[in-house]
Chain A
Amino acid sequence: DAGITQSPRHKVTETGTPVTLRCHQTENHRYMYWYRQDPGHGLRLIHYSYGVKDTDKGEVSDGYSVSRSKTEDFLLTLESATSSQTSVYFCAISREGPSTDTQYFGPGTRLTVL
Chain B
Amino acid sequence: GESVGLHLPTLSVQEGDNSIINCAYSNSASDYFIWYKQESGKGPQFIIDIRSNMDKRQGQRVTVLLNKTVKHLSLQIAATQPGDSAVYFCAENIDRSGGSNYKLTFGKGTLLTVNP
Contacts and interface: CB of A to CB of B under 8 A. Distances in A.
A98 B102 contact: yes
Interface in A89-114: 90, 97-100, 102-108
Interface string A31-67: 1010000001111110010100000101100000000
Contact of A105 (B41, B43, B95): B43
Q: How large is the interface on B (under 10, 10 to 19, 20 to 34, 35 or more residues)?
A: 20 to 34
Contacts, number: 58
A40 B108 contact: yes
A99 B108 contact: no
A31 B32 CA distance: 17
Interface of A: 1, 4, 31, 33, 40-45, 48, 50, 56, 58-59, 90, 97-100, 102-108
Given A98-B32, A99-B32, A107-B42, 17 more contacts: A41-B108, A42-B89, A42-B108, A42-B109, A43-B44, A90-B43, A90-B44, A97-B101, A98-B101, A98-B103, A99-B95, A102-B49, A103-B46, A103-B104, A105-B36, A107-B43, A108-B43
21 contacts: A1-B43, A4-B43, A31-B102, A42-B89, A42-B107, A42-B108, A42-B109, A43-B89, A43-B91, A44-B106, A45-B104, A90-B44, A97-B101, A98-B32, A98-B101, A98-B102, A98-B103, A99-B93, A105-B36, A105-B43, A105-B44
